[in-house]
Structure 1
Amino acid sequence: MNSAGKDNALGTHVHLIGIGGAGMSGIARILLARGVTVTGSDARESRAVTALRALGARVETGHDAAHLQHDGEDPPTVVVSTAIRDTNPELAAAREQGLDVVHRSVALAALTEGRRLVAVAGTHGKTSTTSMVTVALQHAGADPSFAIGGDLTVSGTGAHHGSGDVFVVEADESDGSFTVFAPSVAIVTNVEPDHLDHHGDAEAYHAVFRRFLDRLVPGATLITCADDPGAEDVAVAGERAGFTVARYGRSATGAGDARLLDFTPDGTGSVTRFRHAGVERELRLGVPGEHMALNALAAFLAGVAVGQDPDVLLDGLAGFGGVQRRFEFKGRVRGVTVYDDYAHHPTEVAATLRAAREATGSGHGRRGRVLVAFQPHLYSRTRLFAAEFGEALSLADEVMVLDVYGAREDPEPGVGPALITDAVRLPDEHVHRAPSWEQVPAALAGLAADGDTVITMGAGDVTVLGPEVLRELAGGDPA
């Protein structure tokens, strides 16, 4: 086995099916940085695929058993995600050939071996919080390795093989696979039922977080949001298990906690006063929303837990530039500002819309309205949370709901945009079923006026519409 294999429990050759996805491409980046031979395939070309090829990966478009050929190379370890179906020809061929097949989370856990692991879990806020931990530690000179489910706005990447002894990961609970990690520091931002297509019911969803708690290494630190009932349940269980628990939020009262004292919106950012270890401190952020300030407090506590200076961490957080697709600024034309956001759960939708009102001053003497084009993600989630989506979207002034983005699911009879539009508590003239996909940008541009904010929102391909809205606002010319 060559030197690459010695630094990588997955072997000297790794093949990733669906390599262009956020999580998979991050693993590929780290493997490449460690000198591992990386091959893979994806259904389509993308910027992520192009970037991986430039780094030395061999990536094929489309899925074919022939892509597993390894003439003159070691047989590959094959990495898959939950999104890859058993009928995928490469997965089927790998099993027929007796190749090692591992889940994405298992592969990522293998990459963290030998490093202090900071794992960020929770229903909402994982990507932003993981990113904040990373940026704060980078500012402190720690050079952590990291794997995030989104790209940092400043660096444009969501993964890095660092020289430091800390590895920061976004620990995804959607399929329960985050229980493969063994964290030295674990953050649980909140626990609110989601992904019930996999977990079945709320109790099973809560139970997987208790199993995650069982994976913490002896002497680990658990960081939880004191304002969230589900996270508080995890904190209590953590204390019973003998872990050090640090809480953050308005309800946090312990000496090692970060208690939020005051939150003040400041343009497209905020200023937060909080108390930690008997000292009152100020946290400045360049991204809007109290939910983002809470995420930053979690990141602050994680940095403290791995031994970094509190003042240096706060300085690093002040420079946090955001994450792509998390209230990401896309442009401004004719006084209309366009953002894109990944929110796809009712709580996330509500938090983003509240942040939009704070950032724009809507409702505080200014005339600008908030317009949202929402693309539901998954038929099961739409069916289960239609009423909650309607309630959350009612925080906007104009609502347009697109067709459901099914992703890994097949359509369900009777499950569509109408379930959500019927639940929105706004006058009918302000609630719109999206026209055909091609007509959405023009329709949004037609609704918007000087001073308004338009947000394209959802976990699907709605993200591509922001630039098109800007072009429509500019009269068809590039924004």
Structure 2
Amino acid sequence: MELPDELRRAHLIGIGGAGMSGIARILLARGAEVSGSDAKDSRAFLTLRAQGARIEVGQRAENLDAFEGGPSAVIVSTAIKDTNPELAAARERGVPVLHRAQALAALMAGHRTACIAGTHGKTSTTSMLTVALQHCRLDPSFAIGGDLNESGANAHHGEGGMFVAEADESDGSFLTYTPSVAVVTNVEPDHLDHHGTAEAYVAVFAEFAKRVEPGGVLIVCADDAPAAELAARAEADGVRVRRYGRSATGEQDARVLGYTPHEDGGTVRIALAGEELDVRVAVPGEHMALNAVAALLAGLELGAPADGLAEGLAAFGGVRRRFEFKGRAADVRVYDDYAHHPTEVAAQLRAVRHAAGLGRVVVVFQPHLYSRTRTFANEFAAALGLADEVILLDVYGAREEPEPGVTGELIAERITGATVHYEPAFDRAAALAADLVKPGDLLVTMGAGDVTQLGPEILAELDRRGA
């Protein structure tokens, strides 16, 4: 696949991030010269350097000089501030600056594209579709916001003529894409730090639906009222729509007839094109089964066979940080999960409850963003109340400055139905978790920040105590 001229020598600021490292992988596979930098080392660097990328830790203007003649373009994400020295240097030199989504859109050119959007479930659905297509030997290119457990990769340059991408609505940049197949799993207000209001957040999905190319299709979950409304508006505008879920009724829809949970996943039964089909999903939770049905419909639209897609979905091994098993110690199973919105937390804890069997559910939760914590404190409390024991950490601010009075305690003091422990000292959390768990319990670390580090620490502490 021919590279656009502006991407032949690309410098990526923040190259260790999930989205940026994926773009770097694909650029390198297509023969581009790639340089980049990040504020700290990343496990992604090892692979990228082995592929030929030149990466610096620390961000300085001279990092733009990794290749003779300098970069043909500098790629940034919304998280990169105007004061970044490399971004400022690029603008001073007149080097084109592309947003991550613009670079990804350029890499999609010439492919049949499937873009997976939604407030929740887009990473899992994108991953399921990718694995299912690979099972059908179609070798799609893909870019995902998480690493597939099967390959350990978040992106790949394939030769199958199709491109599967997670479409991020957080900053509205998914409006850069023109998908052949667009999926919207659900629409629930989030990222209000960028969009401002719930109405503006919903409106950006309506614009995304208009981006579907002529002759393409929009696939939506009919069980989600805002998504169903989005589908109705898109259909009125002439966009072809396929729906899935228990509420789906059309001949081309995938109607969910039932869901049967298993210890290691579940089976969803659907009615599709006049036939009934069982789809096995190896990850727990009915919400994951719905994601699998969305992936099935998208795969069919891309020309893959239903039986091959179903077999691929049954083989799907999950995504890093999506209910990822970290280990067992002292008869306690420890998992890690990326859920960081109340709806995601509730859905995952319902699935965890079944996976725990007779054991208790213990969750170590780290709120992500001060604005989200303030806006959804009551909703987070209701979701976390589904656990038996909750350790509430302080807020992982990410790109935001602290807000007075907005801490993990804002959620902790509202939780009912579970025993709550507010622990503002991150370095004491592992020992506290080890104090609380009992044999047979299932513990999950949860959140979008550095809470993911705690799983191995908890396991090590349990092993130490056992020894």
TM-score category (smaller protein): over 0.9
Q: List per-residue Cα deviations over 1:89-112 (Å, max 9, x = no partner).
A: 101111111110011111111100
**Residue from 103, 125, 129 that aligns with 1:129:** 125
Question: Residue type of the partner of 1:47?
Answer: R
CA displacement at 1:265 relative to structure 2? 0.7
Question: 58-67 vs 239-248, which deviates more?
Answer: 239-248
Answer whether contact 1:137 1:144 (CA < 8 A) is retained: yes
CA displacement at 1:435 relative to structure 2? 4.8
**1:257 maps to what in 2?**
253
CA distance in 1, matches of 2:90, 2:457: 41
Matched, 1:198 2:185: no
Matched, 1:411 2:402: yes
Matched, 1:218 2:207: no
Question: Residue type of the partner of 2:311?
Answer: D
CA distance in 2, matches of 1:61, 1:106: 25
Question: Residue type of the partner of 1:379?
Answer: Y
Q: How high is the TM-score relative to the length of structure 2?
A: 0.98
CA distance in 2, matches of 1:439, 1:206: 40
CA distance in 2, matches of 1:209, 1:415: 29
**Residue from 379, 394, 400 that aligns with 1:388:** 379
> SS of 2:139's equivalent?
coil
Answer whether contact 1:9 1:111 (CA < 8 A) is retained: no
CA displacement at 1:8 relative to structure 2? 3.0
Q: List per-residue Cα deviations over 1:14-59 (Å, max 9, x = no partner).
A: 0000000000000000000000000000111111012111111000
**Residue from 375, 391, 395 that aligns with 1:400:** 391
1:4-403 equivalences under 5 Å are 6-8=2-4, 10-69=6-65, 72-73=68-69, 75-361=71-357, 366=358, 368-403=359-394
**Residue from 412, 428, 449 that aligns with 1:460:** 449
CA distance in 2, matches of 1:297, 1:234: 19
Answer whether contact 2:430 2:454 (CA < 8 A) is retained: yes
CA distance in 1, matches of 2:417, 2:248: 36
Q: List per-residue Cα deviations over 1:51-89 (Å, max 9, x = no partner).
A: 111111000000000101156335330000011111111
In the alignment of these two chains, the number of paired residues is 467
Alpha-carbon RMSD: 1.3
**Residue from 427, 436, 443 that aligns with 1:447:** 436
Distance 1:18 1:477, change over 3 A: farther
**2:460 maps to what in 1?**
471
Answer whether contact 2:145 2:166 (CA < 8 A) is retained: yes
CA distance in 2, matches of 1:75, 1:346: 42
CA distance in 1, matches of 2:57, 2:173: 27
CA distance in 1, matches of 2:226, 2:381: 23
Answer whether contact 1:10 1:110 (CA < 8 A) is retained: no
CA distance in 1, matches of 2:216, 2:238: 9
Answer whether contact 2:116 2:184 (CA < 8 A) is retained: yes
Question: Residue type of the partner of 2:14?
Answer: G
Q: How high is the TM-score relative to the length of structure 1?
A: 0.96
Answer whether contact 1:268 1:360 (CA < 8 A) is retained: no
Answer whether contact 1:13 1:73 (CA < 8 A) is retained: no
Matched, 1:424 2:415: yes
> SS of 2:16's equivalent?
coil
> SS of 1:395's equivalent?
coil
> SS of 1:10's equivalent?
helix
CA distance in 2, matches of 1:474, 1:462: 20
Answer whether contact 1:378 1:409 (CA < 8 A) is retained: yes
Question: 67-76 vs 32-41, which deviates more?
Answer: 67-76
CA distance in 2, matches of 1:145, 1:120: 14
CA distance in 2, matches of 1:392, 1:113: 41
CA distance in 2, matches of 1:125, 1:183: 18
Q: List per-residue Cα deviations over 1:359-380 (Å, max 9, x = no partner).
A: 122xxxx2x1000010000000
Answer whether contact 1:120 1:170 (CA < 8 A) is retained: yes
> SS of 1:475's equivalent?
helix
Unmatched 5+ stretches in structure 1: none
Answer whether contact 1:471 1:477 (CA < 8 A) is retained: no
